[in-house]
Structure 1
């Protein structure tokens, strides 16, 4: 299993799967971003599972921010817990403050070289 690389991250919402960011996973560090947020954290691999502990920071003010977990906060502490199978990861992203979770999936796009 090769985890280090560039990954497309998708979250499942009320209208199905939505591409939310591109993540760069390398040497225990998780970095991801989109036009509306960035995420920084660390990850550990245990067998075929990966667990990432991250902080996501959103841009905009008040209701200009995109709601997540029913809130318009500027920062969320999140844990991603997923199973790695080949070039995919599937699992749940959990808001550590409220203990809500959202299904996520990741697709490996490329190596980091």
Structure 2
């Protein structure tokens, strides 16, 4: 199973340069890296990244994260994946731009 992290351009650049990241400011404030499932990702983009351009969608296989990944109740009572360690570039299965078209982020077809 894949989970997804939406990163702003500078956050993606920092992860690529340093090889790891504690995440966005909200991740630093909360003490874990926020992820979304395929079903949650579009709502996350709309709620937290409305109108933002230059985003990257990063996919991570849950089996790469071990016990540092916790599923916790969040928005609307749904379980969300939270990573209690830094995200590593080696965790990333793939990454691709998340284009904004007519104000809506366009996710790739077939997210699992």
Q: TM-score range by the shorter chain?
A: under 0.3
Q: Which has the higher contact order (CA 8 A, sep 6+)?
A: 2
Give the TM-score, by structure 1 length.
0.26
Give the TM-score, by structure 2 length.
0.26
Question: Which has more strand, going by share of residues?
Answer: 1
